[in-house]
Structure 1
């Protein structure tokens, strides 16, 4: 799966939608684990747009963590504010619709 590329206008729309979301995944002390990646992929497959909260307090480490999550999940990092990041990946319609 390839990382989606977003225009500035698309990012703006997604950030406005993301303001209403609660953080659905939290990255704790352990950092990026298989469980975090699995949950992130699951949430992205269902919702397409999710908010992630990081426990990391160092700014540079947090930026690296958010970039790593985007790479590992083939999602677009829409934006970050403090310890919260917004990710987007288009929902695959074929996996959600019943076969006919």
Structure 2
């Protein structure tokens, strides 16, 4: 996996792609449980770029985004309102 952070141009391109995606996971009042994190990890392995819809206040969404980025070793590309887009390099197929 590439450990270099994405450039602003790469993030811009990924945000454009992410706009057309449907949210893969909805995170509600229960927050980030282990099962939700496992589902997000599976989605990142399979797709590389995912969109998440949050049902929380702005401050909680910021905390969720930083927690997802650190625990799943992915990068927060951007988002608008209650939607966040995350990216992680897909593993090489053997």
Same structural fold, with TM-score higher than 0.5 when normalized by the shorter chain: yes
- Structure 1 distance, partners of 2:8, 2:45, is 23
TM-score by length of structure 2 reads 0.92
- Structure 1 distance, partners of 2:71, 2:2, is 11
Return 5+ residue gaps in structure 1 as ranges: none
Mapped contact 2:77–2:85 kept (Cα < 8 A): yes
Three-state SS of the structure 2 residue aligned to 1:87 is strand
Q: Would you say 1:11 and 2:11 are equivalent positions?
A: yes
Mapped contact 1:3–1:75 kept (Cα < 8 A): no
1:2, CA displacement in angstroms? 7.7
Q: Would you say 1:35 and 2:30 are equivalent positions?
A: no
The alignment's C-alpha RMSD in Å is: 1.5
Mapped contact 1:80–1:86 kept (Cα < 8 A): yes
After the TM superposition, which residues 18-57 of structure 1 pair with which residues of structure 2 at under 5 Å, given as runs?
18-56=18-56
Deviation above 4 Å: which 4+ runs of structure 1? 1-4
Larger radius of gyration: 1
- Structure 1 distance, partners of 2:90, 2:50, is 12
TM-score by length of structure 1 reads 0.87
Q: Which residue of 2 aligns with 1:72?
A: 71
- Structure 2 distance, partners of 1:44, 1:77, is 12
